[in-house]
Amino acid sequence: MIHSGEVLTIADATERQHLHSGLPAAPFELVEAICTDPLNLNGWWVGDMHAIWYCDGETIKPVAGCDYTPGFADGVGEAARFCQVNGLVCTTRDRKRLYVSDKYNNRIRCIEIDRREVSTIAGSGAECDDDGLCLEAGVTAPGQIAFDRSPLVEPESVLWIVGRGLRRCDMKAGNITSAWCNFNSPGSTRAFHTCI
């Protein structure tokens, strides 16, 4: 399917029904993020509202969160809570972790894939963009996230976060810094803090 270059409609979000004959009805409501599985050409994770699902080409399974219950809670599987999943990225070296931008909780979360265990790795939850330690710094309305692929950093140790600005989360050093910020307020300008 995916490796052939064929484009398929998996689910129609407005009808909440499956359109491809091989999979059961898709539970998706508002898909905001998708991430491919580095070990399965037909596999991908889907961030839909307040939940994350895994599609392996034959089945669709819940991973974490609950589509109809927004909130904030670390935990296992459906006990975890998100408030609009807006970005996903998976570790490619070992496929052990899936990172999630949790938009309205102003946080970055991590799912240990085998255990479906969700923990918070960055963001204080406050609506601010202060630099600092990962769990004390602000990451307002995080959107897309990606690993820094530069040969100058340890693989999969730095996440770039797009929100009101571009934020750099160095998981090894345990801090978040601004590459640039646009605070969307009258008279604000972009302030470049570091070089990318």
* pLDDT at site 194: 36
* pLDDT at site 103: 96
Could you list the residue range(s) of the whole structural domain that residue 107 is in?
2-192
Residue 71: what residue type? G
Q: What are the pLDDT tens digits along the chain (196 aa)?
A: 445 666 555 554 444 444 443 555 667 888 999 999 998 888 999 999 999 999 988 889 999 998 788 999 999 999 999 999 999 999 988 889 999 999 999 999 999 999 999 999 999 999 998 999 999 999 999 999 999 998 888 999 999 999 988 999 999 999 999 987 555 543 333 433 333 3
Give which of 134, 141, 140 is closest to 172, Cα–Cα. Answer: 134
Residue that the structure tokens 């640039």 belong to: 180
CATH of residue 101: 2.120.10.30
Helix (H, G, I), strand (E, B) or coil at 54: strand
| Cβ count near 67 (within 10 Å) | 19
Q: Cβ neighbours of residue 156 under 8 Å, at least 6 residues apart?
A: 91, 92, 93, 147
56: left (phi over 0), alpha (psi -120 to 50) or beta: alpha
Give the tokens for residue 185: 């307020």
* pTM of the full structure: 0.82
Give which of 102, 88, 163 is closest to 179, Cα–Cα. Answer: 163
* pLDDT at site 30: 85
* pLDDT at site 4: 61
Q: Cβ neighbours of residue 151 under 8 Å, at least 6 residues apart?
A: none
* pLDDT at site 187: 37
| Cβ count near 178 (within 10 Å) | 19
Number of domains in the chain: 1
93 alpha-carbon distance from chain centroid = 18
